A and B are shown apart, each in its own frame.
Chain A
Amino acid sequence: MRFMIIRKADPDTEAGVMPTQALVDAMMRYNQELIDAGVMRGGEGLQPSVKGARIRFSGGTPAVVDGPFAEAKELIAGYTIIDVAGREEAIAWARRWPVEDGGGEVELEIRQAYTADDFGEFAPDLREMEERMRAAGQP
């Protein structure tokens, strides 16, 4: 089962404060642990919302709103995707998140990804197409 570990934003990430060397090292160790366990499927750290934009559709018409966006806690600063046996394992991995991050004040959220099976019976050709698209999207 695939889970996303979402690292919520905070004032520092929104201000674009660069991580300390200690945090970079700790993050590298953590990521390597995920890789060694065969569960790592990818992830990114995200730049502050000031560099982002929101595209809001209303009546089918898109309107672009430039960042930054208020309420740092509701934004995300990064994500890691892991493939694990279940929710408990995802939580167990999230609990190991480096304490160096955010000076020990961090909020993570885990969310499970849908798979084709969750949508019931896909027509076989649709399923095949989906698998092909996924394969093409792999690094």
Chain B
Amino acid sequence: MTTTEETHRAIDAVWRIESAKLIAGLARMVHGDVGLAEDLAQDALLAALEQWPRDGVPRNPGAWLMSAARRRAIDTFRRGKLLERKHEELAYELDAERERAVPDLDAALDDPVGDDLLRLVFTCCHPVLSVEARVALTLRMLGGLTTEEIARAFLVPVPTVAQRIVRAKKTIADAKVPFEVPRGADLQARLSSVLGVVYLIFNEGYSATAGGDWMRPALCEDALRLGRILAELAPR
């Protein structure tokens, strides 16, 4: 195996570990725009795929990805499609945050991300989305699966999943779904929706019996992992 291949596999592994935290943290930074947060995270992943095979996997890959995504966010806002005041402020904030972050990236990573992750879970499983969209978005944003992996797992064409995800992001933006953990009476219903998604993912993997693609049974493990994350995060 070549070193480049090894690095790519290492990047896949890092992505699986970091992507949810990265997207959740970015979403808060860009005022709850989950779609934009995911795009920024993907850009950071591309940058990693470009640079890590050349320079090696950085000592703190999570911090590296986060600062690459932040740089990207600043560039995006600066490039000026969105030069409203609000966004200038945001760029300023991001800049300031980056300044602060440079000497102390490790500490920045130790910040509690649990709340952001939980907000991301509730956003991905929002009832405004179709059930299929919730499942696809959850696997993509929280499970770190690629569109291709999701398509294979659910035996649907890749463009179908890609479209589902694009539409889901748009629906979230159009409906102005807030990036938050619901409270009060809302919480119970919304939590049921989240658990329903985890159950569906598990069931899809469980019903895939022997002889099938390994991606399908792997859904069980993804669901169990999501369940454990929720058990740790969920409001009690």
Question: What is the interface of chain A, defined by CB distance below 8 A to chain B?
Answer: 1, 29, 35-40, 83-86, 88-89, 91-93
Given contacts A36-B232, A83-B221, contact A92 B17 (CB under 8 A): yes
Task: Name B110's contact: one of A29, A38, A39, A40 (CB within 8 Å).
Answer: A29
Given contacts A83-B224, A88-B10, contact A93 B17 (CB under 8 A): yes
Number of interface residues of B (CB under 8 A): 22
Complexed CA–CA distance, A85 and B228 (Å): 15
- Are A86's CB and B13's CB within 8 A? yes
- Are B229's CB and A38's CB within 8 A? yes
Contacts of A85 in B (CB 8 A): 13, 16, 218, 221
Question: What is the interface of chain B, defined by CB distance below 8 A to chain A?
Answer: 9-10, 12-14, 16-17, 61, 110, 113-114, 117, 218, 221, 224-229, 232-233
Complexed CA–CA distance, A29 and B62 (Å): 15
23 A-B residue pairings within 8 Å (CB atoms):
A29-B110, A35-B228, A35-B232, A36-B114, A36-B117, A37-B225, A38-B224, A38-B225, A38-B226, A83-B221, A83-B225, A84-B16, A85-B13, A85-B16, A85-B218, A88-B10, A89-B13, A89-B17, A91-B13, A92-B10, A92-B14, A92-B16, A92-B61
Complexed CA–CA distance, A29 and B117 (Å): 17
For residue A95, which residue of chain B has the nearest CB?
B57
Report B143 CB to chain A, min CB distance, Å.
9
- Are A91's CB and B10's CB within 8 A? yes
Contacts of A36 in B (CB 8 A): 113-114, 117, 229, 232-233
